[in-house]
Amino acid sequence: MNTSDVGRFISEQRKEKGLTQKELAEKLNVTDKAVSKWETGRSAPDISLLTSLSEALGVSVIEILNGERIEKESFHEVGDEVIVETMKNDKRKRKRSVIISVAVMLLLIMLAALSYPAYHFFTSVPIDNESAILKESERYAEYFEETGEKMEIVKSLKKGDYFFYLLQSENRTSLRVFERNKIFKKRITLHGGTLSREPNKISVYSTGGPGPITMNVFFGYGMTDKQYRFSYRGTTTTVPVDDELVLDVLLDINDSFSNANAFN
């Protein structure tokens, strides 16, 4: 179906019927802009409108599709040819559309399959690479980015699939929490962290982990006290301080998240 021929034919038949574009549009319950687009070949009438359009113009559907009048004696022969060709064109278009859709879907699946592990790899660092851990830690610490201070790992602790690092710079101490990567088991991904408050004060990092895990991390530096206490779910516990640094972790598997409070 040639939309230019169809459009010209619709325009000619409309004028022969003495109809304006608006009048024809009203008969078909469409806008006159739609009729204008048909007649200029910018679009074609929807299949559902062909019967009503043929009745309004006094022509056959086949003549509309063919874009010209057909002699009665050759009507049947030409009609079959037009219908068959139209069906073939539609079938070819549908086949091309299906092939393109399948190809795009397969491409998207391949990209997703490749990007998922790639994302996990590039957002994680090796467990045994201290310099990579420090670099990843600095990248998410605005304080150290602004001051240019460099950190070093002064204390570390592993609990379950979590890795805890106490980082010290010239003026501050920072906690960083990493989690074992879900795909690459020898790599860890930054989970969170925070800066400490001041020397000889216990800071607490509290957060809910994946699922029902509650995490409370107690950390501090420049400790002169020999012990500190924390309260959690109505219980107070006393913890000894062996050196000037504190890094203790309380992991609790519970459906409700709860913060712990620590004090000297």
Q: pLDDT digits over 167-185, tens only? A: 888 777 889 999 999 888 9
Do 218 and 230 meet the contact criterion of CB atoms below 8 Å apart?
Answer: yes
The yes-or-no verdict on residue 129 having pLDDT over 90 is: yes
**Per-residue pLDDT, 77:** 46
Which pTM does this prediction carry? 0.56
Range of 11's domain? 3-69
**Same structural domain, 33 and 148:** no
**Same structural domain, 256 and 175:** yes
**Same structural domain, 144 and 28:** no
The CATH number of the domain where 31 resides is what?
1.10.260.40
- Phi then psi dihedrals of residue 254, to 5 deg: -150, 150
Q: Which residue has the higher pLDDT, 126 or 93?
A: 126
Overall number of domains in the chain: 2
Phi-psi region of 67 (alpha: psi -120 to 50; beta: other; left: phi over 0): left
Residue that is last in its domain, among 69, 97, 116: 69
**Same structural domain, 55 and 177:** no
**Same structural domain, 158 and 252:** yes
Average pLDDT, the chain: 82
| Structural domain includes residue 49 | yes
Residue that is last in its domain, among 69, 96, 113: 69
| Structural domain includes residue 104 | no
**Same structural domain, 63 and 155:** no
Q: Which residue has the higher pLDDT, 73 or 152?
A: 152
**Same structural domain, 154 and 258:** yes
Q: How far is CA 109 from CA 103, 106, 113, in A?
A: 10, 5, 6
Instruction: State which amino acid sits at residue 179.
Output: E
